Amino acid sequence: MSRLDNKVAFITGGSRGIGAAIALKLAEDGADIAITFTSAAGKAAEIVGAVERLGRRAIAIKVDNLDAAALEAAVNEAHHKLGRLDILVNSAGVYSMDTVDTLTLEEFDRVMFIHVRASFVAAKAAAALMGPGGRVISIGSNLGEIVPFPGLVAYATSKAALTGLTKALARDLGSREITANIVQPGSTDTDMNPANGDHADGQRARMAIPRFGQAKDIAGLVAFLAGEEGRFITGASLTIDGGANA
C-alpha cells in the first residue's frame, strides 16, 4: 500500500505551479485528486491526464476563489464524484504588490478573499465531509512572517491571517483527529515568481541556500503532512524557504 491509498485530495489552484506539483505528488502517493482552476483549463486538463496516467482518478473544476458558493459546491462535487474527502490543500493564490499609499480597498479585499476567505470556505465545507485522519493544509508564504521590502500590505496581511486561521482550525478539528497546518514557501520557481524574473537576484541574496525552490520541494512537505507520519502535527507553521527567514 502506498501512503495515501484510498484517500481523496481537493487542491485549489491545482492547474499550475505549486498546486499542480502537489496534485501530482499526492497522486503518486496513491490519492485520487480534485483540482480547481480559474483560467488555465488546458493546464488543468494536463494535470488530470497526468494523474490518470499514475492510475488515480482525477477531476478539474473551474471555480474562482472569489465565489464562495461555487467553491463550497466544488468541494461537495469532488466528494460526490470521488466518494470521500480526506485532504484539503488551499494553494490557489495571487501575488499583489502595492504600498499602503496607493493600494486600493478593492485590491486588498480581492487578495484577502482569494487567500483567506476562500480557505475558510473550503475548510468549512471540507471539514463537514472529513472523517478521522483528515488534513487541512494551507499554502502561506514566508512573507507572512517577515516582510523584507515595501509593497506587501495585501499579500503579507493575507498570508499572516492564514496562520491564525490554521491555528483556530487545529483547535476546532483536533478532537476529530483532523489536523490543520500551514506550509510557508519562500521563493519558488513558478509562473508567479520565476527564478529568472526581474527580482530574483534580490530574493536569492536573502537565502541561506541561494537558489529558488522547486514546486516539488513544497509538494514533498505537503505530502508528508498529508501522510500517516504527519498525524500528530497540527496548528504548525512550516517554513520551506531555503533559509530566507533564518
Ligand X SMILES: NC(=O)c1ccc[n+]([C@@H]2O[C@H](COP(=O)([O-])OP(=O)(O)OC[C@H]3O[C@@H](n4cnc5c(N)ncnc54)[C@H](OP(=O)(O)O)[C@@H]3O)[C@@H](O)[C@H]2O)c1
| Residues of span 5-24 touching ligand X by CB under 6 A | 12-13, 15-19
Q: Is 51 in the site for ligand X (CB under 6 A)?
A: no
* Residue 155 is among the residues annotated as catalytic for this protein: yes
Q: Is 38 in the site for ligand X (CB under 6 A)?
A: yes
Helix (H) / strand (E) element for 103: namely: none
Residue 137 CB, nearest approach to ligand X (Å): 12
Smaller CB distance to ligand X: residue 30 or 194?
194
- Hey, what's the cell of 160? 499572516
Smaller CB distance to ligand X: residue 179 or 187?
187
Q: Which of 10, 37, 155, 212 is catalytic?
A: 155
Q: Is 109 in the site for ligand X (CB under 6 A)?
A: no
Q: Is 191 in the site for ligand X (CB under 6 A)?
A: yes
Edge-first strand order for the sheet with 8-12 is: 58-62, 32-37, 8-12, 87-90, 135-139, 179-185, 237-240
Question: How far does the chain reach from its first CA to its final CA, in angstroms?
Answer: 37
The residues facing 62 across adjacent strands are 37
Angle at which helices 17-28 and 41-53 cross, to 10°:
20
Q: Which of 163, 187, 234, 239 binds ligand X (CB under 6 A)?
A: 187
Q: How many residues bind ligand X (CB under 6 A)?
A: 29
Smaller CB distance to ligand X: residue 133 or 236?
236
- Hey, what's the cell of 245? 527567514
Q: Is 242 in the site for ligand X (CB under 6 A)?
A: no
| Residues of span 59-98 touching ligand X by CB under 6 A | 64-66, 91-94
Task: Write b or e for each residue in 158-191: b if 16 or more Cβ atoms lie within 10 A of its Cβ, otherwise e.
Answer: bbbbbbebbbebbeebeeeebbbbbbbbbbbbbe
Q: How many CB atoms neighbour CB 133 within 10 A?
A: 15
Q: Is 166 in the site for ligand X (CB under 6 A)?
A: no
Q: How far apart are CA 23 and CA 133, in angstroms?
A: 19
Smaller CB distance to ligand X: residue 95 or 224?
95
- Which residues contact ligand X by CB under 6 A? 12-13, 15-19, 36-40, 64-66, 91-94, 114, 139, 141, 185, 187-188, 190-193
Residues marked as catalytic: 155
